[in-house]
Chains A and B, each alone.
Chain A
Amino acid sequence: MTADDYKVRVAKDLEDLIPVFMKNRHKELETLRVALAAADFDQLRQLGHRMKGVGNSYGFTHVSTLGKYIEDGARSGDRAALQATISEYDDYLSKVQIAYE
């Protein structure tokens, strides 16, 4: 990913919602790890679906993209792909830069 891929623009009036949004994403990351360790593909699929829905809504398109990968990976039971996507999600959350406009 390039540096630009980590930049997100969020509407100014949503600024106060972002701390809760980010906290929930970090919680989600942990839940994804636990679900993968337990091979709970149904939960992984649900979590991926939720990421897909909420990411774009807040302007975090990459969260939606990764959500789709997780949903697809859970459907096919592809543990390696899920592991790689969850690692990418971790990397993304640690580096994402938010600009309020």
Chain B
Amino acid sequence: MRILLIDDDEDLRNLLSRYIRGQWADAQIEAYDPLERDLPDAAFPLKSYDVIILDYILGRGDGLEWLKSLKQREDCPKILFLTGAGNEIIAVRAMKAGADDYQRKQELTREKLITSIRELTATAVERTVSPDLAARMEGHSLGAKVRIPGIKVLHMIGEGGTARVYLASREDDDEPLVVKILRHEIVLNKKALERFMEEYAMVERIQSRHVARIVSHGEYEKNVYLVMEFFEGGDLSKRLAGKPVAPTEALKFFRELMFALGDIHEKGILHRDLKPQNLMFRRDGSLAIVDFGIAKNIAAADRTGAGEVLGTPRYMSPEQVQGRALDLRTDIYSAGVLLYQMLTGRHLFDGETAMEVAMHHLNTEPPPLPAHLEQYQRLLDKLVEKDREARFRNADEVIGFLSRKFEQLPDQTLDLRQGNAAQIARS
């Protein structure tokens, strides 16, 4: 395999070359430094490469311009475009200009790079496509086929159990958006399809800045889709990355989460699946809840929730584990589990199996916070009470507790007061 690697940063060239050679020992990689060389001219043998890896910021050039110029040539191979995180509008423009894939540099792991190159060179490198790769390629081609008025579906960015997720853009102004396309097997499953449509209907009804904004939804040639806002700040799991966040920040995020819960509970909706992957950040740092795939109307959960166990075991409330009828205190418990993880960088309960973790929620006392976090112990205790009668009853009670207890602390006063001011300004 031959790869042309165009990046002005020596360290990134070294790192990417190492990753590639670790996978394909005989790969020939030409490191192309745009600080020393101009845009490849017409005589440059582009055809001899299987893939070009091209950075956006080239030191003394614009990667997008280079991309457009290279893609005008008939002999141009596939191009993997690298952007900085928070630069999705550039990713959108790159895909429109002909990039075959894009990756955010800050999140570019060995595995992501290899997967991307594998996909781009699948026909050249592998005669037999693995089932995983075949599934991903099917996902990519599906995205290219679906037509949504005013929206261009660009590139698959993730896959879940029920839907494939694509980066998309609004055709008028290139605003990055996310398109979720339901898997065919789910469309054929009446109950799952109803759940997906319910997700859309509920999220649209909420209209809160703490909940993902839905742009449109519909069906195109038997493909059911949902268009929603794109979150440039990524999700909480990426921010945590197995480590704690500063207590002031953890409290700030937690407070935002409480406002979010207040808004959805007010509309009679339980989320039921709070976890770091479902808390997204916008560019301005504000937080919103996504993925209402297993959310329920409170009335419906009371009526039909008994016996049904859905959710992620690490964040499940005891009553959820038991399959009991739920009320909004289930989300309060899950939020407490998230707060513990933000403060300590660890899960509240660990176990070898999902069942073991779930049973801890029922039977095991939560571990105490480390001494330096002692001031948050009472708050946490009241969030993760196993007996929901002893738990905070709703988000407003939690917000009240935060205001009373933590506005006294000098290092948190500013954050909390700013949060209040922002909330008042928004309301």
Chain A contacts to B: CB under 8 angstroms: 13-14, 17, 20-21, 24, 46, 49-50, 52-54, 56-58, 61, 64
Contact = CB atoms under 8 A, between A and B. Distances in A.
Interchain residue pairs A-B with the least CB separation, the first 3: A53-B105, A56-B106, A54-B11
B22 A13 contact: yes
B343 to A, nearest CB: 15
Interface of B: 9-12, 14-15, 18, 22, 57, 59, 84-85, 105-108, 241
A20 B9 contact: no
A24 B11 contact: yes
Contacts of A17: 11, 14-15, 18
A54 B18 contact: no
B106 A57 contact: yes
B11 A64 contact: no
- Dominant SS at the A interface? helix
Contacts of A64: 106
Contacts of B18: 13-14, 17
Contacts of A52: 84-85, 106
Contacts of A20: 10-11, 14
Given A17-B18, A20-B14, A57 B57 contact: no
Q: Which of A54, A57, A58 has the most CB of B within 10 A?
A: A57
Given A17-B11, A52-B85, 13 more contacts: A13-B18, A13-B22, A17-B15, A17-B18, A21-B11, A24-B10, A52-B84, A53-B105, A53-B106, A54-B9, A54-B12, A56-B106, A61-B241
Contacts of B84: 49, 52-53
Contacts of A24: 10-11
Nearest to A28: B11
Nearest to A22: B11
Nearest to A71: B84
B402 to A, nearest CB: 25
A58 B106 CA distance: 10
Contacts of A54: 9, 11-12, 15
Given A49-B57, A64-B106, A58 B15 contact: yes
Q: Which of A21, A53, A58 has the most CB of B within 10 A?
A: A53
Contact of B9 (A13, A53, A56): A53
Contacts of A46: 57, 59
B9 A50 contact: yes
Contacts of B11: 17, 20-21, 24, 54, 57-58
Contacts of A57: 11-12, 15, 105-106, 108
Contacts of B57: 46, 49-50
A49 to B, nearest CB: 6
23 contacts: A13-B18, A17-B11, A17-B14, A20-B10, A24-B10, A24-B11, A49-B57, A50-B9, A52-B84, A53-B9, A53-B105, A53-B106, A54-B11, A54-B12, A54-B15, A56-B107, A57-B11, A57-B15, A57-B105, A57-B106, A58-B11, A58-B15, A64-B106
